[in-house]
């Protein structure tokens, strides 16, 4: 578990697309991460018909994160 946290924390301030276990996806800058939560800023909800800006910081529970990817 610690190595996963280190890898994520080493990527702070990078842009990620985070997909949750229910298929919901968000695009944002990784601002913070711990063993229970990832926090995105400058975030957008990704929907079928476009993107919707998220107002403020977005807190996502780690146990609901299916995967995180760094877009090109």
- CATH of 2-69 given 3.30.450.20, 2.30.30.100, 3.90.1530.10, 3.40.50.1360: 2.30.30.100
Contact (Cβ atoms closer than 8 angstroms) between residue 47 and residue 35 = no
Place of tokens 């993107």: 51
Q: What is the pLDDT of residue 14?
A: 94
Measured at the CA of 1, the angle between CA 4 and CA 29, to 5 degrees, comes to 35
Q: What is the pLDDT of residue 51?
A: 96
The 10 Å Cβ neighbour count of residue 50 is: 8
pLDDT per residue rounded down to tens, the chain (72 residues): 455 577 777 888 999 999 999 999 999 999 999 889 999 999 999 999 999 999 999 999 999 999 999 998
Q: What is the pLDDT of residue 1?
A: 46
Q: What is the pLDDT of residue 3?
A: 56
Domain ranges of the chain: 2-69
Q: Which residues pair with 33 in a beta bridge?
A: 38
- CA–CA distance, 52 with 4 (Å, rounded to integer): 29
């Amino acid at each position: 578990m610690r190595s996963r946290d280190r890898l994520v924390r080493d990527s702070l301030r990078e842009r990620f697309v985070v997909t949750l276990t229910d298929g919901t996806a968000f695009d944002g800058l990784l601002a913070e991460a711990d063993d229970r939560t990832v926090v995105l800023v400058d975030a957008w909800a990704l929907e079928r018909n476009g993107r919707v800006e998220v107002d403020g910081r977005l807190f996502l529970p780690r146990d609901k994160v299916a995967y995180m990817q760094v877009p090109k």
